[in-house]
Amino acid sequence: MGRISEGVQTKADAEAPAGRDSSTIYRARRVLAIRPFRRLWGVTYLCSVADWLTILGVTSLATKLTQNYTAQNFAFTGVLLSALLPGLIFAPLGGLLADRFDRRKVMFVADLLRCGFIVSIAFVGTGWWLYIANFLASASAMMWIPSKDAAVPNLLRRPDQVETANQLGMVMTYGLAVLSAGGIYTVITGIGPTLHLPPDLFGDLGFAKIIVVLIGLLYLTSAILIITRIPELSRRNVHTPVAVAPKPTSESSGGLMSLVRDGAKFIRSTPLVRGLLIGAAGAFAAGGAVVGSAKPYSSSLLAGDAAWGLLLVAVFIGLATGMGGAPKLARRLPHDRLFGISIVVAGLALILVAMSPHLAVSLVAVAVVGACAGAAFLTGVTIIGSQVDDAIRGRINAIYQSMMKIIVFGSTAIVPLLIGLTKPRTVQAWGHPIIIDGTRPVMLGGGILAAIVGIIAYRQMDSRRAETIMSDLRNVIRRRPRRANGLLIALEGTTAADTASQASKLVDWLRSASPRPVVLATDPALDDERLAQLVTGASLSGGRARALAAAAVRADIVERDVQPALDDGSIVVMERFVDSPLAHLSAIAGLDAKELEGLADWATGRLRPDVTVLLDATPVNGSPGPISIEDQWRVQNLLSEMAAADPDHYVVVDGDGSEDEVSDRVRTAVRAVLVGRRSGLAPIEAVDA
């Protein structure tokens, strides 16, 4: 079974399958081993620390620059608004710059601007300039972020590393950077009281001026590193996207307006991106509803002030879990389906939050909402990075980021008004008093909206309409790897002579009937030759050693030939995939069947055929090969037991008779199974059996 005879190009890159089922730590190490990405990751750390310090330091300055008590109370809100508003205005412009100009130069200029605007706050020293400078610095960040996000896929070795790179970026931005910024702020602001230094040692603004200058230095360091140490940020079109057409024409259009038109046309004509933005809009609106109503909702649970803190902890635990678990789910569930399903489940969980009678139920439901939101956000960024053409990636990233800010900001502002429309009342539910106020209808509406939008996004993005979602969910439950649109059909039998001719005839028939590429993975002679060379060269004589050698050969075949063909959407017919070799080793070598099954799962990455055709032929003396008639009966009995244990995936066909008679039976059985499974092979129905 060593070669694919036609229809698929073999992949010599041994790295590609290596990360398919590897651990998160292993995949992170492989990505961090890429020097340009590692340097960009460090730059992201510097800028993220500076961003978080800006919120803390500029807020501290705002309170010092205003004497009015009411104005001081609004200092944090003012700083936050001046940082968010540029995202509503300048994010699309940042996307255009990322797609039109050298991304490294755009990031360099943006960092210099951020440095200058933030440092100027310390020297101008007026309240009005503080908000203007913070606004301009945030506008510069809107040029930096789309360029960075669009450049990341071009720094990686393979497109499937985009997800891990996004994980690392989020861990840095929302984990290490937050802790570092909080620690730096605490240390700097605590130096004065600890050492009993005068508050005006650095002027009227005190130690807050040091924080602002430090922020500027962090941005300046980032700019220097970008322009001198990461020239790879200027790369373009390193990886071809998986499948999102039509390809944008911005490269030849020229002009900013043409870039805008190209982006709008691309979104309208690409269901994947259109569904992504529709789903993101609903998810962000639901998220804004949660943010805006979370505090009064915690009071409605009658659990005290601690409920607010517990709900926040549950959300962030859920977010971390979702972002950490999304890549594992994506190995068994396609990204387009995972995105839509995550939003639907988040909406259903939010409905449960709205109806929850007790804090314990709310904590679990809120954690589920957070996990689904984290998985959806990471999956959306991954889809943009791995499946959107490099020429338009910056604009799509910018739209995605700006949508998040616009919708979350708008819904957060509107929700308090909606809550005020409902007068609170206390009711008894399951023996517990519950306050029914405006938060519950708002959350209920947000949950329903998210569920509906998630379904719409799923239907827009789903590239596997011919295959039911239940097949993918079974892969998740059984921990089997996902495939794209491929279909694996295995022919098993007592001897290679039983399966060789039938596999060839089945492939010929499928090629005439199916619109999909059909490939034949079969060469038992070459397979046996490779195994014999491995066993002889290593002087292996024990049954277990031979089983390990056979597993190594099978793992190579699956990784090099079979899995790439399935990922390309082909129908693969493979002779003697797993079951026949298992039965031979168990019956002839006397090895434990359960242990062999575990070894086969490891060798194939838990890959199993969609349909296994078992040729039930009567063993006869004089069959080709060294296997005796007694061993043939043992193998045949074991294969029959395997088929009886899993009738959903096996079709037993009478293997006695002429080759043409058996071929007719195989074709009839396979056609019935394929039609029943909605495989999308409509022409098969019209082929005369």
**Among the ranges given (3-12, 215-224, 331-340), the one the predictor scored with the smallest mean pLDDT:** 3-12
Name the residue with higher pLDDT: 628 or 219.
219
pLDDT at residue 16, rounded to an integer: 38
Dihedral sign for Cα atoms in the order 390, 391, 396, 397: positive
pLDDT (tens digit, 9 = 90+) per residue, 230-278? 999 998 877 655 444 445 544 444 455 665 677 677 777 788 888 888 8
pLDDT at residue 242, rounded to an integer: 46
Q: What is the CA radius of gyration of the chain?
A: 30
Dihedral sign for Cα atoms in the order 78, 79, 80, 85: positive
CA distance 302 to 528: 71
pLDDT (tens digit, 9 = 90+) per residue, 520-549? 875 555 555 555 555 555 556 566 676 777
Are the C-beta atoms of 85 and 137 separated by less than 8 Å? no
Domain architecture of the chain: domains with CATH: 24-239 (1.20.1250.20), 255-482 (1.20.1250.20), 485-686 (3.40.50.300)
Region of 199 (left: φ > 0; alpha: ψ -120 to 50; beta: rest) is alpha
CA distance 226 to 233: 8
pLDDT (tens digit, 9 = 90+) per residue, 379-397? 888 888 777 777 787 778 7
Name the residue with higher pLDDT: 659 or 641.
659
Q: Burial-class residue 423 by CB neighbours within 10 Å (0-12, 13-18, 19+).
A: exposed
Are the C-beta atoms of 280 and 458 separated by less than 8 Å? no
Are the C-beta atoms of 604 and 559 separated by less than 8 Å? no
The rounded Cα 440 to chain-centroid distance in angstroms is 31
pLDDT at residue 116, rounded to an integer: 94
Residues 6+ apart with CB under 8 A from 583: 634, 635, 638, 639, 642
CA distance 219 to 241: 32
pLDDT at residue 35, rounded to an integer: 93
Q: What is the mean pLDDT of residues 609-620?
A: 78
**Among the ranges given (73-77, 99-103, 209-213, 639-643), the one the predictor scored with the smallest mean pLDDT:** 73-77
**pLDDT beyond 90 at 479:** no
pLDDT (tens digit, 9 = 90+) per residue, 566-579? 766 678 888 777 66
Name the residue with higher pLDDT: 373 or 241.
373
Q: What is the mean pLDDT of residues 158-170?
A: 83
Question: 9 falls in which pLDDT band (50, 70, 90)?
Answer: very low
Q: pLDDT over 70 for what percent of the chain?
A: 67
**Among the ranges given (299-303, 326-330, 346-350, 608-612), the one the predictor scored with the smallest mean pLDDT:** 299-303
**pLDDT beyond 70 at 475:** no
Question: 21 falls in which pLDDT band (50, 70, 90)?
Answer: very low
Residues 6+ apart with CB under 8 A from 351: 443, 444, 447, 448, 451
**pLDDT beyond 60 at 41:** yes
Q: What is the CA angle 196-64-199, rounded to 5?
A: 15
SS3 428: strand
Chain mean pLDDT for the chain = 74
SS3 573: strand
Name the residue with higher pLDDT: 113 or 162.
113
Paired residues of 432 in beta bridges: 429
CA distance 672 to 659: 20
pLDDT at residue 40, rounded to an integer: 95
Question: 557 falls in which pLDDT band (50, 70, 90)?
Answer: confident
Q: pLDDT over 90 for what percent of the chain?
A: 10
pLDDT at residue 30, rounded to an integer: 86
CA distance 106 to 98: 7
**pLDDT beyond 70 at 646:** no
pLDDT at residue 224, rounded to an integer: 96
pLDDT at residue 301, rounded to an integer: 75
pLDDT at residue 15, rounded to an integer: 37
pLDDT at residue 460, rounded to an integer: 82
